[in-house]
Amino acid sequence: MNTKEILKKVRKIEIKTRRLSDHIFGGEYHSSFKGRGMTFSEVRKYQFGDDVRTIDWNVTARYNEPYVKVFEEERELTMMLMVDVSGSEYFGTHHQFKKDTITEIAATLSFSAIQNNDKVGLILFSDEIELFIPPKKGRSHVLRIIRELIEFHPKSTKTDIAHSLKFLSNVMKKKAIVFMLSDFMDSDYEQTLKVVGNKHDITGIRVFDKYDEEIPNLGMVPMLDAESGKVHLVNTASKAVRSNYYTNAKQLVDEFHSSFKRSGCGVINTRVDESYVKKLLGYFKHKGR
């Protein structure tokens, strides 16, 4: 894809997703993710009814009368997008790959964030950290993120969710709103998620194709494992083969749900042939209650 084609695709995604973020998600995002906490503003004289725990004892001693600290909600947020770029994301049977849906969702979230004057950062991961863009504000920064999502070519095709979460914890010292976008075809990340989830507000967005979960009866079919690069001849006419495929897929889905919920993190599931708009909007409305 040449530069002109990339810019055209970036512009197309911007037009589609910015309209969504402006008219649908802006207010919902704003109300769902309020300030990170309380930040110090000023000191003033103690008034009847003030919480004694807010007394500033140093200032009180200096002036021989009680003064309290005044705090206000910290409105600015930092959003981190963690995007799986492993081989399995380059799969889709309904008009577009999982990667394309992930790009649209990431763009929609990014524009919702900058509409709220928040910073947005990006981590692209496989079984290693492929790219890290530190959080910044502004439209030009979001367009750079979209461009990377479109044209980036990862070094690895494998997945390691736990490793990416450890990296997030190392580079983000302050609390962030984190959206992890993946098909979550990985395991053994719950313990790391629990630790990192104590510090950050994490939501897992599972983007999947219906054939990730079930395999149709097509007879003997050569299948490429996108993460290992190996081609296997699979007899899809076999009920046992289809049953094993379903069982293995279900185990990964169950692990995704249980790991995120036990870690106190949010969960969104959206299939590539479904409307991710309804899924995101429903999630934001529920979270903002």
| pLDDT tens track, the chain, 289 positions | 666 776 787 888 888 787 777 766 666 666 676 554 555 667 889 888 888 888 999 999 989 999 988 765 556 789 999 999 998 887 766 678 899 999 999 999 999 888 888 899 999 999 999 999 999 999 999 999 999 999 999 999 999 999 999 999 999 988 899 999 999 999 999 999 999 999 999 999 999 998 888 888 888 888 877 777 788 888 888 899 899 989 999 999 999 999 999 999 999 999 999 889 889 888 888 876 6
3-33+76-287: CATH superfamily: von Willebrand factor, type A domain (3.40.50.410)
**Six-digit token string for 246:** 């379903």
Confidence (pLDDT) at 38: 56
Sheet holding 177-182, edge to edge: 129-136, 119-125, 78-84, 177-182, 201-208, 266-271
Cα–Cα distance, 83 to 126 (Å, whole number): 9
Strand, helix or coil for residue 211 = helix
Residue 227 CB neighbours (<10 A): 18
For residues 241 and 216, the answer to whether their CB atoms sit within 8 Å is no
Residue 250 CB neighbours (<10 A): 12
Q: Answer positive or negative: Cα dihedral of 117, 75, 24, 106.
A: positive
Confidence (pLDDT) at 91: 76
What phi and psi values does residue 61 have, to the nearest 5 degrees?
A: -65, -35
Confidence (pLDDT) at 9: 77
Confidence (pLDDT) at 259: 97
Residue 272 CB neighbours (<10 A): 23
Cα 191-194-195 angle, rounded to 5 deg: 90
Closest CA to 142 of 167, 164, 116, 163: 116
Confidence (pLDDT) at 216: 85
Cα–Cα distance, 23 to 10 (Å, whole number): 20
